[in-house]
A and B are shown apart, each in its own frame.
Chain A
Amino acid sequence: MSTIASFGFWSFVGIVAGIYTLFALGVQVQFGFAGLLNFGHVAFMGIGAYTMAILVVKEDMNMWAAAGCGVLLAMLGGVLLGLPTLRLRADYFAITTIAFSEILRYVATNEDRLTGGSQGTINLAGIGKTAQYDDQWRSFLGSVERDLHVGGDVAMLIVVWTVALLAVVAVWLMMKTPWGRVLKSIREDEDAAASLGKNVFAYKLQALVVGAALGAIAGLFYAWQFSFFSPDDFAPLLTFFAWMIVILGGLGKAWTVPVGAIVFGVIFAGTRFFDFPPFSLLDSTERAYLRLIVIGLVIIGLMLFRPQGIFGSRREMVLE
């Protein structure tokens, strides 16, 4: 059976799309609702994944408790990032957030004793010992498989998408509360919101922290899905994928995020099937380059021809 018809391959694409949904939902909260140009979102993913893995391997902590710590630490990271930077102008804020994520990536690469360094989590327990942080996750997934009588991929698919869709609904509900409406009013006109007595800074900080939690949860699933990760998995490119997903689906709505993530997943995976001439002349690395060229062209094309995204409405929000 060719890959294009293989169930295993497409369930993998589905799992990754679910993880990206969680990840990009954070950007939607921060930018789509609060108007914050966070280009360092991948940092929260890294904090979540690394905190969980380090606590499990080095401190023998229960994995679920460690996962909770990962999310909390990412939220704390959001506060620490936001306190000095949220008062900055948008372009300065954007550049500072990229710098934030890159500083963390450099630290993770160089502090071998804490993170395993550039070799990644395999090196967490020191040289010669293989470190595993996901035993508890494997047994949890095994019990899901037995209870639902499904295979491993399907169990993961179900778990990821259950969490992702719950998060989408949660964000949707949050945006219907007065809190969500204030957030949107800040996005539209900060000064007007401030003149009505709203603490603009606090609302922005809260949006940043909610987004950070979503990013960290995505990081946990990323860690569990791949059983191994290294600092290079959290390069700025991933942040831009999340931005592309949010803009593909449409800005300012929660339910457009999973749609964007699925479309993105198909574009990303679809370039694997360019096995007809002239593309069959390329080897697999060269096709990986081609995939990123396609992604780049899609971003440019979207901005040129449909800046509100597939399902975004021009009246709700257009990129400025």
Chain B
Amino acid sequence: MFMQLLANGLVTGSVIALAAAGISIVYGILRLVNFAYGDYMTFGAFAGILFNVKLGLPIVLAAVLAMAATALLSVALELVLWRRLRAKSAGFMSLFLVSVGLALVLRHVIYLVAGPQPRTYAVDPYKVYVIGSARLSGAQGIAIVVSAVGIVLIGLLIAGTGVGRMMRALADDLPLAAVAGVRTGRVIVAAWIVSGLLAGLAGVLAGLVQTSFDPQLGFTLLLPIFAAVVLGGIGNVYGALAGGLALGLAMELSTWTELAGGVNPTYKPVVAFGALVLVLLLRPQGLFGRARVV
């Protein structure tokens, strides 16, 4: 039982971690709390349906194409929307509200185009991996492996590549980076590409894990994802990854019956928010945030 919950927690947690990292990368540079991010994920999940179910491509290839499509959407919105808002020196509030509006538009365009009926990826539902005493479905197995690879890659990208270094420079002090000769426009586009790729990946994985999903997919995950972002300290990518995994594990393990009977599974999101509130009270800068930013 415990091993099974641990495995489930890793699956949930890694999806949340990927998405939280995607939000944090953009927040770090642009101070934009992207409320539409859940719907970027939904877009990715439905692009995956298009490639996997409609066009009959294998799930891994479909996921890669869906990631590319979401990155494209993400960059397009930067060029037509966010860049324009920044040129008008829109502040935190305006940007946040625009992302709320964008969330409504994206979600309901997806509703209009794809319809409200539940969707399922074409993967073998009877395939089961047994690891010790835990049983993972094929979809969960794919999710765990792929997101582990994704998490390592994103860590390497931020820590070890030129683009990653420039992103960190922008996050630290954008005007200073600009003066030092960093082409800020390009780095911002790069950040949106990475953020979009992560949204697409997290969207497809969330769809795989839930077996069937509708256009609410991303939005219902958004608040636990935000909780993970805050838990890690807003704008801190490693923190977001760790926060996501921690939250996923906390949500699943809280239902463990040995633990004072466990929490009713319908309260899993409440556990996430509860953890969030607790952390904010004790460590308002987040588990991994620096004190000075609060």
Residues of A whose CB lies within 8 Å of any CB of B are: 37, 84-85, 87-92, 94-96, 98-100, 102-103, 106-107, 109-110, 237, 240, 243, 247, 282, 285-286, 289-290, 292-293, 295-300, 303-304, 307, 319-320
Are A91 and B264 neighbours in the complex by a CB distance under 8 Å?
Answer: no
User: C-beta contact mask, B242-273 vs A, less than 8 Å → 1, else 0?
Assistant: 00000000000000000000001011011001
Chain B residues near A90 (CB, 8 Å)? 92
Are B108 and A293 neighbours in the complex by a CB distance under 8 Å?
Answer: yes
Which listed residue, B33, B116, B274, B284, touches A95 by the CB 8 Å rule?
Answer: B33
Are B102 and A296 neighbours in the complex by a CB distance under 8 Å?
Answer: yes
In the assembled complex, the CB of A182 is this many whole angstroms from the nearest CB of chain B, namely 22
Are A84 and B108 neighbours in the complex by a CB distance under 8 Å?
Answer: no
Are B227 and A99 neighbours in the complex by a CB distance under 8 Å?
Answer: yes
Q: Does B183 contact A (CB under 8 A)?
A: no
Q: Given A96-B276, A96-B277, A303 and B266 touching (CB < 8 A)?
A: no
Q: Choose, from B93-101, B161-169, B185-193, the stretch at the interface.
A: B93-101
Other A-B pairs, 18, CB within 8 Å; known A37-B93, A240-B100, A290-B112: A84-B281, A90-B92, A91-B92, A98-B226, A99-B277, A103-B273, A103-B274, A292-B107, A293-B105, A293-B109, A295-B101, A297-B101, A300-B98, A300-B101, A303-B85, A303-B94, A320-B91, A320-B94
Q: Bound complex: CA of A98 vs CA of B269, how far in Å?
A: 13
Are B226 and A95 neighbours in the complex by a CB distance under 8 Å?
Answer: yes
Are B269 and A106 neighbours in the complex by a CB distance under 8 Å?
Answer: yes
What bracket does the count of chain B residues touching chain A fall in?
35 or more
Which listed residue, A37, A99, A247, touches B276 by the CB 8 Å rule?
Answer: A99
Chain B residues near A87 (CB, 8 Å)? 284
Q: Bound complex: CA of A55 vs CA of B273, how far in Å?
A: 28
Chain B residues near A307 (CB, 8 Å)? 90, 94
Q: Given A89-B294, A96-B280, A106-B266, A289 and B108 touching (CB < 8 A)?
A: yes
Chain A residues near B90 (CB, 8 Å)? 303, 307, 319
In the assembled complex, the CB of A24 is this many whole angstroms from the nearest CB of chain B, namely 14
Are B94 and A95 neighbours in the complex by a CB distance under 8 Å?
Answer: no
Which listed residue, B109, B230, B267, touches A110 by the CB 8 Å rule?
Answer: B267
Q: Bound complex: CA of A296 vs CA of B108, how far in Å?
A: 10
Chain B minimum-CB-distance residue to A235: B219
Are B108 and A319 neighbours in the complex by a CB distance under 8 Å?
Answer: no
Which listed residue, A92, A286, A296, A297, touches B284 by the CB 8 Å rule?
Answer: A92
Which listed residue, B98, B264, B267, touches A299 by the CB 8 Å rule?
Answer: B98
Which listed residue, B101, B102, B112, touches A289 by the CB 8 Å rule?
Answer: B112
Q: Bound complex: CA of A289 vs CA of B90, how far in Å?
A: 28
Residue contacts A-B, CB under 8 angstroms, 21 given: A89-B294, A92-B234, A92-B284, A96-B230, A99-B227, A99-B277, A103-B273, A106-B266, A109-B266, A289-B112, A293-B105, A293-B108, A296-B105, A299-B97, A299-B100, A299-B101, A299-B104, A300-B98, A300-B101, A303-B97, A303-B101
Which listed residue, B33, B105, B280, touches A94 by the CB 8 Å rule?
Answer: B33
Chain A residues near B103 (CB, 8 Å)? 296
Are B91 and A98 neighbours in the complex by a CB distance under 8 Å?
Answer: no
Q: Bound complex: CA of A103 vs CA of B93, how far in Å?
A: 24
Q: Bound complex: CA of A37 vs CA of B97, how far in Å?
A: 11
Chain A residues near B127 (CB, 8 Å)? none
The interface residues of chain B, by DSSP majority, are classed as helix
In the assembled complex, the CB of B201 is this many whole angstroms from the nearest CB of chain A, namely 23
The interface residues of chain A, by DSSP majority, are classed as helix
> Which one of A84, A285, A292 has the highest number of Cβ atoms from chain B below 10 Å of its Cβ?
A292
4 nearest interchain CB pairs? A299-B101, A320-B91, A296-B104, A296-B105
Residues of B whose CB lies within 8 Å of any CB of A are: 33, 81, 84-85, 88, 90-94, 96-98, 100-105, 107-109, 111-112, 116, 223, 226-227, 230, 234, 264, 266-267, 269-270, 273-274, 276-277, 280-281, 284, 293-294
Chain B minimum-CB-distance residue to A301: B101
Chain B residues near A296 (CB, 8 Å)? 100-105, 108
Which listed residue, A85, A92, A94, A298, touches B101 by the CB 8 Å rule?
Answer: A298
In the assembled complex, the CB of A291 is this many whole angstroms from the nearest CB of chain B, namely 8
Which listed residue, A100, A285, A300, A319, touches B105 by the CB 8 Å rule?
Answer: A300
Which listed residue, A89, A94, A110, A292, touches B108 by the CB 8 Å rule?
Answer: A292
Chain B residues near A107 (CB, 8 Å)? 270
Chain A residues near B112 (CB, 8 Å)? 282, 286, 289-290, 293
Are A319 and B91 neighbours in the complex by a CB distance under 8 Å?
Answer: yes
Q: Bound complex: CA of A320 vs CA of B93, how far in Å?
A: 5
Q: Bound complex: CA of A290 vs CA of B104, how far in Å?
A: 10
Q: Given A296-B105, A300-B101, A319 and B273 touching (CB < 8 A)?
A: no
Chain A minimum-CB-distance residue to B269: A106
Are B85 and A88 neighbours in the complex by a CB distance under 8 Å?
Answer: no
Which listed residue, B85, B264, B269, B293, touches A304 by the CB 8 Å rule?
Answer: B85
Q: Bound complex: CA of A90 vs CA of B93, how far in Å?
A: 9
Q: Bound complex: CA of A37 vs CA of B93, how far in Å?
A: 8
Chain A residues near B33 (CB, 8 Å)? 91, 94-95
Q: Bound complex: CA of A98 vs CA of B234, how far in Å?
A: 16
In the assembled complex, the CB of A15 is this many whole angstroms from the nearest CB of chain B, namely 24
In the assembled complex, the CB of B111 is this many whole angstroms from the nearest CB of chain A, namely 5
Chain B residues near A100 (CB, 8 Å)? 273
Chain A residues near B107 (CB, 8 Å)? 292
